[in-house]
Amino acid sequence: MTRRPRALPGVLAAAALALTSMAVSAPAQGADPDDVRSQMLERAAQQPGTTASLVASDNMAQVSTNPGQVGISGCFTATAPLFVTSGLDSLQVFDVSEPASPERVGVLPSLMFENEAMNCGERRTKQGTRRFALIGVDLYQASPDDIEHVNVGGGELVVVDVTDPSAPAVLSRAPGTTSTHTVACIDDTNCRYAYSAGGRSGFSIFDLRDIEDPVEVDSDRSTPGVQPFASPTGGHKWNFDAAGIGTHTGYEGASMWDVSKPRRPRVLTTTGAAGAGDDPDHEGWNDFILHNAFRPHAERFKPGRKPSLRRGNVLLVTEEDYEETDCAQAGSFQTWWVKKLNGKPGKIVPLDKVELSDLGTFPLPRGAFCSSHWFDYRAGGLVAAGFYGGGTQVLDVSNPRRIRTHAHAVWGLSEVWDAMWVPVYDARDRRTTKRTNLVYSIDLVRGLDVFAVDVPGDGRGAEPPVGATAPVSVSGRAAANALPLGLVGAAMAGALLLRRRRAQG
């Protein structure tokens, strides 16, 4: 989540437009990729609290690395083994038939800030399944395949067609009246409606039934113009669970909604004073925003039962406070007890939370981002989470009252934004609810890293699934897919500059 400045600096806007002409996969002219990487590692070694190499627990091992993108977020498609990633420089599509060795098959050069949550959607048509990705434009977006449409100012949804993974292309656009920092399909297997992050008091609903001409839904036709929908918790991310309930995380905590009628969502409950950061008995539970959420086994929920993952009444949440560089306060991973969904506020209450420093995994970054960020859940109670400079952390939440560390992997000069368990695809290439023991970590500096985790009970250890190809060396990957150093520097400088500025009001 970005505390947005009043306006996009003109220099950054000009740089964004100029960089669209640069080839994403071409090596920097006159720069040897191995030399570039050596310089990066040398700089990392000079930073307090960082290392020039991977520091990982014994039960987590790196399988492969895939540089070539200033990475932000990613998503898996439902009916094909594809992984779509978003970065400050491009949208990329990977074939993950061999999940330990993802193969980049398509690139759409696209300068964008920030599209912090890549979201995949699908629609069934007479011509077959149409796959697409939703880009939320915060401040700017420009792509050479749609050069007549350049956005400087944000507030827009961009739909990118990835049906042909080798040729991703902008399909359509729709303006929004609230922040499109993130945009998510209610049902990614039949994406007809999507909800935006929104601002401190409201959010937008996009009608995607005509995917080539999406429009924002008007909440009040009696008032001139398009009116957004009100939310008691402000906005950052919508997550939709197996029970058809949406959780809206943001500035004032989290609220849960009945979205069975997508154009008329209804609030069911909220995290109350604790989620808003106003409960003296739960200090530090929200110093900026509750970032994103997931409720395992949501379809099993019944009110009034003791908290248990299996009972569908535990909400997993990250709290982000990226401007705090003390890793004891920077942003926690949390569990909440969903007691009732009866239309009354405050029925979601705190259970446990951990900051990066509580996990006992080292080294801890100093003077850098170390807040929790995006996470993903694996059945059985393991969560993979990105902690910015704190790397990729795997947490055991099987006992929601006592979150524990399970595994970790931390690179020096690294900033992990997203961590996701790779799903198992069946013989028909359809995504199942099962997960492999592989984690994809999307890194602003390193691109895409693949890790294998020793998952209790699978008997595999920290090894990739059987049949995976041999890992490729870091230097080999860098030589083949080096990102232009100037693009890395410009994109990172722009991102970090914007992330350090606070919004006014």
pLDDT more than 90, % of the chain: 70
| Position 486 confidence tier, pLDDT thresholds 50, 70, 90 | very low
The mean per-residue pLDDT over the stretch 125-144 comes to: 92
State yes or no: pLDDT of 402 exceeds 90.
yes
* Spatial CB neighbours of 386, under 8 Å, sequence gap ≥ 6: 372, 373, 374, 375, 392, 393, 416, 417, 418, 419, 441, 442
Digit-coded pLDDT (tens) for 425-435 = 999 999 999 99
- What local confidence, expressed as pLDDT, does residue 42 receive? 52
End-to-end Cα, the chain, rounded Å: 16
Q: What is the DSSP string of 353-422?
A: EE-GGGGT-SPPPSSS------EEEETTTEEEEE-BTT-EEEEE-SSTTS-EEEEEEE-SS--EEEEEEE
Q: For residue 498, what pLDDT band results from cuts at 50, 70 and 90?
A: very low
| Mean predicted confidence (pLDDT) in 237-262 | 98
What's the mean pLDDT when you consider all of the chain? 85
Of 82, 139, 135, the closest CA to residue 105 belongs to 82
* Residue of 107, 182, 113 lying closest to 145 (CA atoms): 107
Q: Is the pLDDT of residue 445 over 60?
A: yes
**How is domain 10-499 classified at the CATH fold level?**
Methylamine Dehydrogenase; Chain H (2.130.10)
Average pLDDT for residues 438-448, to the nearest whole number? 95
State how far the Cα of 505 lies from the Cα of 498, in Å rounded to an integer. Answer: 16
pLDDT for residue 230: 97
pLDDT bin (cut points 50, 70, 90) of residue 331 is very high
3-state secondary structure 237-303: EEEECCCCEEEEEECCEEEEEECCCCCCCEEEEECHHHHHCCCHHHCCCCCCEEEEEECCCHHHCCC
More confident residue, 34 or 437: 437
Q: Which tens digit of pLDDT belongs to each residue from 60-91?
A: 999 999 999 999 999 999 999 999 999 999 99
Q: Residues 7-45: pLDDT tens digits? A: 333 334 433 444 433 333 332 333 343 454 454 445 444
Neighbouring CB atoms inside 10 A of 35's CB total 10
pLDDT band at 148 (very low <50, low <70, confident <90, very high): confident
Token readout for 215 is 């429009």
Task: Report pLDDT digits (tens) over 174-231.
Answer: 999 999 999 999 999 999 999 999 999 999 999 999 999 999 999 999 999 999 999 9
Q: How far apart are CA 287 and CA 284, in angstroms?
A: 6
Question: What's residue 29's pLDDT?
Answer: 33
Cα separations in angstroms, 171 against 43, 160, 178: 41, 5, 21
Report the pLDDT value the prediction gives residue 467, as an integer from 0 to 100: 56
332: which 2 tokens? 């926690």
Rounded (5°) CA angle 381-431-87: 85
Chain-centroid distance, C-alpha 250: 14
Mean pLDDT throughout 115-121?
95
pLDDT of residue 350: 98
Neighbour-count burial of 123, counting CB atoms closer than 10 A to its CB (0-12 exposed, 13-18 middle, 19+ buried): middle
Asked if residue 304 lies in contact with residue 288, where contact means CB atoms within 8 angstroms, the answer is no
Of the pLDDT bands very low, low, confident and very high (cuts 50, 70, 90), residue 328 is: very high
How are the residues of the chain apportioned to helix, strand and coil, as percentages rounded to the nearest 5?
15, 40, 50
149 versus 477: the higher-pLDDT residue is 149
pTM of the model: 0.86
Give the pLDDT of residue 250. Answer: 97
Residue 384 has pLDDT above 80, yes or no: yes
How many H helices and E strands in the chain?
Answer: 5, 33
Q: What is residue 501's predicted lDDT score, i.e. its pLDDT?
A: 38
> In the chain, pLDDT over 70 holds for what percent of residues?
81
Averaged pLDDT, 337-356 = 98
